[in-house]
Amino acid sequence: MNTSPIKTAEILCVGTELLLGDIVNTNAAYLSRKLAELGICVYRHTAVGDNPERLSRALDAAFSEADLVITSGGLGPTYDDLTKETVAAYFGRSLFLHESSLVAIRSYFDRIGRVMTKNNEKQAMMPEGAIVFPNHYGTAPSLAIEGENNKTAIMLPGPPGELIPLFEEEILPYLQSRRDSVLVSKNIHIFGMGESSVENELKELMTESKNPTVAPYCKEGEVRLRVTASADTRAHAAALCDKMIETVRKTKVGEFIYGIDVDSLEEAAVRHLRSKGMTLATAESCTGGLCAKRVTDLAGCSDVFLGGCVTYANEAKTELLGVKKETLETYGAVSEETAREMARGVRLRLGASVGTATTGIAGPGGGTPEKPVGTVYVAISTEKGEVVRKLSLSAMRSREYIRIVSANHVYDLILKET
Amino acid sequence: MNTSPIKTAEILCVGTELLLGDIVNTNAAYLSRKLAELGICVYRHTAVGDNPERLSRALDAAFSEADLVITSGGLGPTYDDLTKETVAAYFGRSLFLHESSLVAIRSYFDRIGRVMTKNNEKQAMMPEGAIVFPNHYGTAPSLAIEGENNKTAIMLPGPPGELIPLFEEEILPYLQSRRDSVLVSKNIHIFGMGESSVENELKELMTESKNPTVAPYCKEGEVRLRVTASADTRAHAAALCDKMIETVRKTKVGEFIYGIDVDSLEEAAVRHLRSKGMTLATAESCTGGLCAKRVTDLAGCSDVFLGGCVTYANEAKTELLGVKKETLETYGAVSEETAREMARGVRLRLGASVGTATTGIAGPGGGTPEKPVGTVYVAISTEKGEVVRKLSLSAMRSREYIRIVSANHVYDLILKET
């Protein structure tokens, strides 16, 4: 058993569909984030097609620098799935039929009610001495080979629906068992302050603090700071992180922090409402269902979220939300007044504690000199009354961006006004 | 001027944020898709950090196989942005101040109303002999170097909001000017038949046809086939594709084809309704806004889409859609009867030609032996009446997958039943 610590890694993704641009390589980002959290430095990402010669060269190049190579893809049942065979050849291992994997694959097919074909047997062939991690989410087991040369390869199937749970349940514990110090990361979530302002405010912390490190990263309209500390115990590393978080809270950035280690603004908003025993109803025009969709992405949101109305046509705003015709005629659908009536309307209609609304011009068409693309009104209604925020996002932003940021403001209003 | 044709390429992305997993490398997928459309074969994707030695080694490795290397990232104003300097060194070119780029950067700052800092001048430094492509979307110009060794490098800024328009407006025409044959791709979109069944049915075509080639790729619950032909003229290549598409239509796959070169099922559904002068209203329980969100992702959908109701709570189903209390009590919220009343209710309520509904158990909680996770009823209502489809998706699928596939069935019902 190879127990030397792993310090450096390369992520090597296999699949012609990547090189054709048919799919975006989310696996590389996911694995990188996970390895960074483990304190393993990722040197490079490489993606190659289903071509064993190129894969073999990429493997040589990867191991010339990295202790660990994690592959994704190429573990399927077809003739062009050759990752396992190629990696086994690199380590000089031959393949044999791994009985318990065969049993697992058979039972997987039984469970999903389909017939196992002969070529799926290929997925049960394993290199000598490999550590096999059973896959409950698909047919390709994951595996690791620990080489005599102090190099380790971990192979994962390509579909994120298999790769992610396999990584969380099997690979993470395996990698943790091979570390020599403990690393803890905490994420500070910030909304309402731009990345450059955050960086400007925290420049010294970000460049000078080595343990914990503080690193910013951006997500549509939000900024996050990752605080990472290394120590002898988990508790000690966590304490170092907490101390740094307190330091950041005392800066100008502090008032824009909406959570530590929350998944998203919508999750923070739903948690906040739950903690207050409040319920939510959403009214949406320009976001067209996105506000509700992001809330219902969260499993178990039904104790907080009652429902919502997507009122694209003016008639829908009147019929479903009771927005007055004269309001629409006098001020227009994209106006503070309409936003206010939408938020109040949906709250009263569904008997919720909180109603929210969005109405605006997401583009690319539909802008006017008075109300250019990017003009959005975001409103919240509670029994205390309504609050409306006017956004003037750059018309150069995409429709998608404008919709995401508008929804972000809905969740931020929930956090600030309830 | 180097005018030899470009046949092979590598995409080389630069940025430590990629290796930390802070951002997903969407640029590599975008550029790959564009290069595939141009008939340029992408051999490999590589991502390295802001580290000139590693970048230099990656560049050597890339050019050892590829005619063209496209880089993204590392053109910023700060000291660690070193792509241009490193690529210039590879080609043995020195940098000089490119006056018109400096003027353009100054005017960009004027336009966005910010002060240009001294370090932005670095972005106007260009390698000798470079072709400079002005950037109207940011401060970093794009550039190409055509080496004496028949190798070409194209450098693009990292943010997709700059990279994509720069590629479309400047790089695409440049690359088209360097091609020798014409390549046309068409995509066949299939819904309702699994990937393995499609492959099984078309195995011979996919393995034996060389021009056009036929290659499958998967997208949540859908299958797509890309047909790609090469010829002396665009018309000839397109005709080769069309002939192959007709061949595929005559197989068992034919009846599951919902479109050629459409962006998505929802786009096909909206186009279909538009062509018939019909309007749409959506009712959603388990999809929680996703059906409406995907429709309103499409700019200009407002001639078809009137609005929708997200009715998560039972009271919302009654209040907004008029679902009868006794229906909910007798059959439950997840039932054929409720789905039918939801679809009819939203259609009548919003005066639409078509109403759709989803109600089901997206999980991970909430399943029962009678109605396990993955049980979803999808309904459509028109003036002809209602049609309901029962889905029994695997409970092992993610909440996200169950919601996406449920919405897919809504759009498929629109295509099939109107």
- At B3 the pLDDT is 60
Nearest residue in A to B318, CA atom: A350
**CB proximity A278 to B under 8 Å:** no
- How far the first Cα of chain B sits from its last, in Å, is 56
Q: Could you give the CA distance from residue A358 to residue B125 in angstroms, rounded to a whole number?
A: 45
Q: Could you give the CA distance from residue A192 to residue A259 in angstroms, rounded to a whole number?
A: 13
Q: Could you give the CA distance from residue B347 to residue B345 in angstroms, rounded to a whole number?
A: 5
Taking only the tens place, the pLDDT of each residue in B137-171 is 888 999 999 998 899 999 999 999 899 999 999 99
- At A86 the pLDDT is 97
Query: Among A274, A223, A279, which residue's Cα sits nearest to residue A252?
Result: A223
Banded model confidence at residue B291, pLDDT cuts 50, 70, 90: very high
Token couple for A300: 């178990």
At B302, phi and psi to the nearest 5? -70, -15
What mean pLDDT comes out for the span A126-141? Answer: 93
Query: Among B79, B62, B80, which residue's Cα sits nearest to residue B71?
Result: B62
**Which residue matches tokens 């969380």?**
A168
Examine residue A141 and say whether the peptide bond preceding it is cis (omega within 30 degrees of 0): no
- Residue among A310, A317, A346, A396 with most chain B CBs within 10 A, to mutate: A310
Vertex A400 angle, CA A31 and B224, to 5°: 65
**CB proximity B200 to A under 8 Å:** no
Mean pLDDT for all residues in chain B = 93
Q: Could you give the CA distance from residue A221 to residue A410 in angstroms, rounded to a whole number?
A: 13
What ranges make up the beta strands (E) of A30-135?
41-48, 68-72, 95-97, 125-127, 131-133
Token couple for B78: 């700060």
**CB proximity A23 to B under 8 Å:** yes
Banded model confidence at residue B118, pLDDT cuts 50, 70, 90: confident
Taking only the tens place, the pLDDT of each residue in B194-216 is 888 898 899 899 889 989 989 88
CB A73 within 8 A of CB A15: yes
**CB proximity B161 to A under 8 Å:** yes
What ranges make up the beta strands (E) of A169-212?
182-191
What mean pLDDT comes out for the span A204-220? Answer: 84
Banded model confidence at residue B9, pLDDT cuts 50, 70, 90: very high
Q: Could you give the CA distance from residue A131 to residue A412 in angstroms, rounded to a whole number?
A: 46
What mean pLDDT comes out for the span A388-399? Answer: 89
Residue A366 CA, chain-centre distance (Å), reads: 32
- At B79 the pLDDT is 78
Token couple for A281: 């109803």
Q: Could you give the CA distance from residue B288 to residue B359 in angstroms, rounded to a whole number?
A: 9
- Residue among A35, A68, A163, A293 with most chain B CBs within 10 A, to mutate: A293
Buried b (16+ CB within 10 A) or exposed e, B211-225: ebebbbbeeebbbbb
β-pair partners for B375: B392
Q: Could you give the CA distance from residue A393 to residue A110 in angstroms, rounded to a whole number?
A: 53
Å between A46 CA and nearest CA of chain B? 4
Taking only the tens place, the pLDDT of each residue in B272-288 is 999 999 999 999 999 99
In this predicted structure, the answer to whether residue B403 has a pLDDT above a threshold of 90 is yes
Q: Could you give the CA distance from residue B227 to residue B238 in angstroms, rounded to a whole number?
A: 10
Q: Could you give the CA distance from residue A283 to residue A407 in angstroms, rounded to a whole number?
A: 11
**Which residue matches tokens 């309520």?**
B349
Residue spans of alpha helices (H) in A250-313: 265-275, 290-296
- The size of the A-B interface in CB pairs under 8 A is 263
Å between A37 CA and nearest CA of chain B? 9
CB B82 within 8 A of CB B55: yes
Q: How far is CA B205 from CA A117, A180, B14, B229, B372, in A?
A: 21, 53, 39, 14, 39
Query: Among B410, B177, B162, B66, which residue's Cα sits nearest to residue A398?
Result: B162
CA torsion A111-A117-A120-A121 (nearest 10°) is 100
Name B345's Cβ contacts closer than 8 Å, sequence gap at least 6: B283, B320, B321, B322, B323, B355
Domains of chain B: 8-176 (3.40.980.10), 182-260 (3.30.70.2860), 265-417 (3.90.950.20)
Q: Could you give the CA distance from residue B114 to residue B112 in angstroms, rounded to a whole number?
A: 6
pTM given for the model = 0.78
ipTM higher than 0.90? no
- At B95 the pLDDT is 96
Query: Among A59, A56, A8, A49, which residue's Cα sits nearest to residue A32?
Result: A8
Contacts of B35 in chain A (CB under 8 A): 21
Q: Could you give the CA distance from residue A149 to residue A59 in angstroms, rounded to a whole number?
A: 14
- Residue among B8, B12, B14, B19 with most chain A CBs within 10 A, to mutate: B19
Residue spans of alpha helices (H) in A217-375: 234-249, 265-275, 290-296, 314-321, 325-331, 336-350
What mean pLDDT comes out for the span B307-313? Answer: 97
**CB proximity A289 to B under 8 Å:** yes
Of B24, B25, B305, the CB nearest to A312: B305
